[in-house]
């Protein structure tokens, strides 16, 4: 009932253990806390909180407009709803080294298991768009060092994202990634790679877990989990996918309502009331209320 039963530190340790296992971890993006519950229910390894989704949820493009407070609040809402580890997109860290340090502590307080900080210039943009720019090595390394130094729980996973592949080319991106690992990054997110061979090169060159971003309508083909595992990838995210699915369904339902004057034709595609209540653990709340009422000597029935 109410929240995750696992503590943030237990979830961080679990993420590190799972990463050591060599399995490919699959982290769908939760566009809200309830979606995180569903992701857990379906047996995934973790939950991703996407910067693009936090922005879109507020009706904003993913161009560095959201604030640390907004992202930390959403990350905390998601993290406390699941026993799975949550990985959050910290964009550029919302500034330079000292801002990055504050970002890491705020997200740590929010209960996430890990976060990634990228090397785009501020203000950033989606990594799959043209025209993005990256900072120089000094600034990129400072961000990661600041992140690593700022964490108070040594198990909090600090992942360095590099957008250099699309800006400076593959070799420069590999050099950047190696330097980010030397600066203390626990894992690397090479953004917008163009083929499986590129993932193989990162995975074999770095010696730390590598993340693949299976975002739709981007620069990277949608590889299967087996292909990614064979290429040595350790973590795969589907960052915006569930929001796209939900928004697609929402749009179709609105069209049907306009055309048909009722949503009756849409009911078979809807999550049922029973399933929603199951995910919410409605029965657990009723039982709690009844238990409290009984203990206080009054008849049960508060929530039922
Ligand atoms: C992973 C990502 O950073 C995100 O915010 O989810 C985005 C996803 C997207 O815009 O498709 C990205 O820059 O790749
Ligand atoms: Mg992002």
Query: Average pLDDT of the chain?
Result: 95
Report whether pLDDT(300) > 70. Answer: no
β partners of residue 86: 47
Pocket test for ligand 1, best of 75, 119, 164, 240 (most atoms within 8 A of CB): 240
For residues 146 and 103, the answer to whether their CB atoms sit within 8 Å is: no
Report whether pLDDT(303) > 90. Answer: no
Top-level class of domain 8-239 = alpha beta
Residues with C-beta less than 6 Å from any ligand 1 atom: 50-52, 62, 89, 126-128, 213, 215, 218, 239-240
Cα 62 to Cα 66: distance, rounded to the nearest angstrom: 8
Mean pLDDT of 281-301: 82
Cα 16 to Cα 240: distance, rounded to the nearest angstrom: 24
Q: Say how many Å lie between the CA of residue 255 and the centre of ligand 2.
A: 30
Give the residue extent of every domain in the chain: 8-239, 247-295
pLDDT at 59: 97
Cα 20 to Cα 191: distance, rounded to the nearest angstrom: 22
Mean pLDDT of 274-297: 88
User: Three-state SS for 184?
Assistant: coil
pLDDT at 103: 98
Percent of the chain with pLDDT over 90: 88
Give the model confidence (pLDDT) of 101-111 as tens digits.
999 999 999 99
Cα 132 to Cα 123: distance, rounded to the nearest angstrom: 10
For residues 207 and 181, the answer to whether their CB atoms sit within 8 Å is: yes
Report whether pLDDT(28) > 70. Answer: yes
Write the ipTM: 0.99
> Which helix (H) or strand (E) covers residue 139, if one does?
helix 137-150
Give the model confidence (pLDDT) of 244-278 as tens digits.
999 999 999 999 999 999 999 999 999 999 999 99
**pTM assigned to the model:** 0.96
Cα 244 to Cα 251: distance, rounded to the nearest angstrom: 10
Cα 27 to Cα 47: distance, rounded to the nearest angstrom: 5
């Amino acid at each position: 009932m109410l929240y995750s039963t696992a503590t943030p530190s237990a979830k961080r340790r679990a993420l590190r253990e799972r990463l050591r296992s060599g399995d490919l971890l699959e982290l769908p993006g939760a566009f809200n806390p309830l979606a995180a519950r569903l992701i857990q229910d379906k047996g995934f390894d973790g939950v991703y909180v996407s910067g693009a989704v936090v922005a879109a949820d507020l009706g904003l493009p993913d161009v560095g407009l959201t604030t640390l407070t907004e992202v930390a609040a959403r990350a905390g809402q998601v993290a406390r709803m699941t026993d799975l580890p949550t990985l959050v997109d910290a964009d550029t860290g919302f500034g330079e080294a000292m801002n990055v340090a504050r970002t890491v502590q705020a997200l740590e307080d929010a209960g996430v298991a890990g976060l990634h900080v990228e090397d785009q210039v501020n203000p950033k943009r989606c990594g799959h768009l043209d025209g993005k720019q990256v900072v120089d090595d000094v600034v990129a390394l400072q961000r990661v060092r600041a992140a690593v130094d700022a964490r108070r729980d040594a198990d909090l996973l600090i992942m360095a994202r590099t957008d250099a592949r699309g800006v400076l080319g593959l070799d420069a991106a590999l050099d950047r990634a190696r330097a980010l690992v030397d600066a203390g990054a626990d894992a690397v997110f090479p953004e917008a790679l163009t083929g499986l061979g590129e993932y193989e090169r990162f995975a074999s060159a770095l010696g730390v877990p590598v993340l693949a971003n299976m975002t739709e309508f981007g620069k990277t083909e949608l590889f299967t989990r087996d292909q990614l595992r064979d290429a040595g990838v350790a973590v795969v995210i589907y960052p915006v996918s569930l929001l796209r699915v939900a928004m697609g369904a929402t749009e179709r339902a609105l069209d049907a309502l306009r055309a048909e004057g009722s949503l009756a034709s849409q009911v078979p595609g809807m999550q049922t009331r029973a399933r929603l209540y199951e995910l919410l653990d409605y029965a657990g709340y009723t039982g709690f209320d009844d238990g409290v009422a009984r203990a206080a000597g009054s008849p049960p029935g508060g929530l039922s």
